[in-house]
Every structure is written in C-alpha cells, then in structure tokens.
Amino acid sequence: MKLEFDLSLYLVTDSTMVPAGKTLAETVDQAIQGGVTIVQLREKSADTSDFIATARTVQSITRKANVPLLINDRIDVALAIDADGVHIGQDDMPLSEARRLLGPHKIIGVSVQTCEEAEIAVRGGADYLGIGTCYSTNTKAVKVGPQGPAGIRAVWEHALKVSEPPCKVRAVTIGGVNQYNVAHVLNYACAVNGTCLDGVAIVSAIMTAPDPRLAAQGLQQQINTARQTSGLRPKYDIDHVSQRVATVFAQSKTGSITPLVQHITNSVVINDCANACLALGGSPIMAADVEEQADLAQVVNALVINIGTLATEQVAGMREAMRHANLHQTPIILDPVAVGATTHRMQVIDEMIRDFGICVIKGNAGEIAALAGSAEMKMRGVDAVGTGFADPVAVVKQVALRHRCVVVMTGVVDYVSDGTNTFAVRNGHKLQSVITGSGCMLKKHQ
C-alpha cells in the first residue's frame, strides 16, 4: 500500500548550502521538527556509494518522524535503501520505466514546466507534480525561465483539467519561494475553480537558515494562513456589504479603531492623503525609506502604495515595504497611477503584482484597462480617455480574478469586485473630476 504523504512543506535538500558547523542530517532533522512534511534528497554531485550512505543517514531521521523520503533522480539509490519514492525530471528516466522498477506502492513525482509536460505526467500516473520555476533561483539550472505565480497557475489549471477522477492530481511549486512570498504564491496560483496547490517545495529558505526549525515554522505558519484565505470568495448580498461598511465607518467615527496606515505615495497629494486618513479615523505615517520597512511592518495595519510620482529610489522602498507586509499579512492597497501611460510604469506594476500579494487595486478606467489588456480605454498622462467599457462589470471582475484581489475602478460610477461579488457605487461628485488627488485620497476609505 502506498504511503500517505503531505506535500504542504516539501524540503529539497542541497548539502552545499548547509551553513558551517552544521551537517545535512542536523538540518533535515531540525527542519522536520519545524514542520517539514516530506523530504527530497537531492545530491547532484555525489557518487553512488556516498549518495547511498547519505540517504541511509537521512532515512533514519525521516522514518523516526514518519516523514516520507524521496530520492531525486536516482532510481538505483531509491531501490538500494527502499526509499518511499523518487522525484524525476524531464531528462531523467521515463515515468513508466520508473514505475515498473519501483512498483505501484512507491511515490513518484515529476518536474514539469509546461502544460504539455504536466498533461503527460498526469496521464502517465504521476503521484504529484513539481511545477516550476516560480521565481529565479540558483539552486538548479532550468530550461524555462521563471514563470511567476501566474505561469504556475496556468500549468496547474491545465493539470486539473486533464486529471480524471477519482485520481485528483496533486502539485507543489518550486523556485525562489520563501516566507516573504509563500502565502502570495499559494493564493495567486490557486485555480479559478478554487483548487489550490497542495504545497510548496523549499530549498534555500531552509537549507541556508541558521535555525532550520524556526525557518520551517515560519513557512508553515504562512502556508496555514494562505490556506485560510485562498480559493473562491464567498457570495455576499448588498445588505451584508452595506452593514459591514457602516460598521467600519461607525467604529472609525467613535475612535474605537484607529488603524495605523503607512503611505508611500506621490508628492503631489501626500499632505492631502495624510489629512484624509486622519479625518476618517486613521493614523497616517508617510515612510518610504528602505531601511525602516522591517520595523514599521511590525506595527502598521495597512500599506498604501501609489506610484504617481515614480522614482527609482521610491520603488525600492515600496518593494521592501510590500515584502515585509506580506510577511505580517498586512493588507496592501495599490494605486497604479498612469500605469498605461509608459512602458516603465507597466513594468513596475507587473513586477509588484507578480512578487507581492495585493489586497486592493484601485484605478481609473484607463489604468484598469491597462491591467486587463483592454484597448477600450487609454491613458493620457494620469487621465483616462475613451468612451468607456461596453461591460465594466466584466472588466473589473476579470482583473479581480486574474490578480486574486479586490478591484476598485473609479469614475462617474465606481465598480468594486472581488471576482465573485461586484457592486456599482453611485455617490460621486462632479468636482472630483476637476481637482487633483481625489482618487489618491479615495484609498484611505479602503
């Protein structure tokens, strides 16, 4: 009978990364104590006898903890120690041959980078897929460059499509995943039907850690958080949403909640945004320097990012703030000002969305059109130009589903969508279109 296995926190070893004073066996043992659920022993440069000796040592640790041990590539080593299974790549022994040699009760995982490779592995009976690479990594040479969470999602959705019940395909992603981005990766890579990846494969974030147990614990906490928030959004009616909004505003008005809101925003409206935040019952802090982001992230309740007056130094501060916000599950509100106006702005925003979990994206019709890849609206500087969307509801819903967040599109009528629920808000004023920064200040309400 095949061993039950949990892919949540999948450790891939690399003995060359182990810090001085530690051994591979100690690192694996401590990582398992911290929450690692499955181990793949990967020793690319070891000769056969050394590999077998190392595998036996590691196996004595994994078996004591009832954690499966897989061998990377080497079927002979797996057979020699009676490992729980193997993980094979596209250039290794074919899946069918590995299954013939190992038998029906061993775990076999397959590395895939494309929809075609995933389909072949699923139809060939792989027990799980290792979909990569998510982000750039130096731990392994790859033929296909980093795909980001969106690329991982595309392969995962195809694998689900070709998987035939009752044998549901399982998968992890690998490549540059760490405690700062793991929750974002799991949320963003979740399939449109709500089916999420079974876990993440980690190399350097654990193998190089001074304390592998604490590193694994931190990752496991982030994974647990992602599992509570990922997937399809529940359906809400307008009365429920109205009641929640009224409650929040009432709490702000009475001072029972005073959220600390960090703003990294444009120089045109920085003072107005601070005052708007205060008027709504919040406490603003305008802080953009890279060096203070780790400290601030421990206390702020929300992070607002506005690229209106874009500058390289400011982007560095924004990215560091977003990185630490993800670590603390702090909501990020992103205002992609004039994102469709220049190639550089589009690149900056694409990279932010790829690398960090965004809670809310707020933009005018031109900015949302740029994110949707629509030609119905354009940007002229910071202004949206065009006759409007034929179906604005479909556009905001599409962008919300694509980026796994809430999208707010401002205009004569504001549209708000989380991909499941979409609402039109008609409470604007004509003067908002003739002053600077009304949209920037809107984010303080969110």
Q: Which residues are catalytic?
A: 440
Under a CB-based contact definition with an 8 Å cutoff, are residues 75 and 65 in contact? no
Pick the closest to residue 340 from 310, 361, 368, 311 (CA basis): 368
What's the chain look like in SS3? CCCCCCCCEEEECCHHHCCCCCCHHHHHHHHHHHCCCEEEECCCCCCHHHHHHHHHHHHHHHHHCCCCEEEECCHHHHHHHCCCEEEECCCCCCHHHHHHHHCCCCEEEEEECCHHHHHHHHHCCCCEEEECCCCCCCCCCCCCCCCHHHHHHHHHHHHHHHCCCCCCCCEEEECCCCCCCHHHHHHHCCCCCCCCCCEEEECHHHHCCCCHHHHHHHHHHHHHHHHHHCCCCCCCCHHHHHHHHHHHHHHHHHCCCCCEEEEECCCCCHHHHHHHHHHCCCEEEECCCHHHHHHHCCCCCEEEEECCCCCHHHHHHHHHHHHHHHHCCCCEEEECCCCCCCHHHHHHHHHHHHHCCCCEEEEEHHHHHHHHCCCCCEEECCEEECCCCCCHHHHHHHHHHHHCCEEEEECCCEEEECCCCEEEECCCCHHHHHCCCHHHHHHHHC
Residue 107, class by beta-carbon neighbours within 10 Å (0-12 exposed, 13-18 middle, 19+ buried)? buried
